[in-house]
């Protein structure tokens, strides 16, 4: 088998791997009526296949991949593209949620939006990224949403 065939097979199988985090489906359902989009540094075909296999596709207003946009998180250009596509004018109404300090949280920091670091293993943050919030499970996330919605 040549390298190109192997690489394509790997990506095909990767797209079939779905591991939903405990509580995420309930959490997403609780956000009904809010705008939710996915912004990923992953390959388009792999990420779309994974999201489709999760059964959550209809949950998201849009799914954006770095492969399509031509920039990766933490680059501000990827966020600029998403904000333009979603016609978002008010950064204070956006919360970037992610598990990666180096791409999700730092990207949000670079772009000037609030961030929420999903840190279930309670890793130490010794880097430059500064999350607005840090959660260890999705119940904590729900309290943040309730708190920020009440103050808006």
Tens of pLDDT along the chain (152 residues) come to: 777 776 666 555 455 566 677 778 888 888 888 999 999 998 898 888 888 888 888 999 999 999 999 999 999 999 999 999 999 999 999 999 999 999 999 999 999 999 999 999 999 998 889 999 999 998 888 888 877 665 65
Domains in the chain, number: 1
pTM above 0.75, yes or no: yes
Helix (H) or strand (E) holding 122: none
Question: What range does the domain containing 49 cover?
Answer: 3-151
Nearest by Cα to 31 from 110, 141, 152: 141
Kindly provide the b/e burial profile for residues 40-60, where b requires at least 16 CB atoms within 10 angstroms of the residue's own CB.
bbbbeebbbbbbeeeebeebe
**How far, in Å, are 38, 85, 101, 132 from residue 143 at the CA level?**
21, 29, 21, 14
Bridge partner residues of 34 (DSSP): none
Give the CATH number for residue 59: 3.40.50.1000
d(CA 124, CA 54): 30
């Amino acid at each position: 088998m040549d390298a190109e065939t192997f690489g394509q097979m790997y990506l095909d199988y990767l797209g079939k791997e779905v591991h939903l985090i405990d509580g995420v489906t309930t959490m997403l359902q609780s956000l009904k009526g809010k705008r939710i989009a996915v912004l990923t540094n992953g390959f388009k075909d792999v990420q779309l296949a994974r999201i489709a296999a999760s059964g959550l596709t209809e949950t998201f207003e849009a799914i954006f991949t770095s492969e399509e946009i031509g920039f990766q998180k933490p680059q501000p250009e990827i966020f600029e593209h998403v904000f333009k596509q979603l016609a978002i004018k008010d950064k204070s109404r956006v919360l970037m949620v992610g598990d990666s300090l180096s791409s999700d949280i730092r990207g949000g920091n670079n772009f000037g939006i609030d961030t929420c670091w999903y840190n279930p293993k309670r890793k130490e943050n010794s880097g430059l990224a500064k999350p607005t919030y840090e959660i260890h499970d999705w119940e904590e996330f729900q309290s943040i949403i309730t708190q920020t919605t009440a103050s808006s």
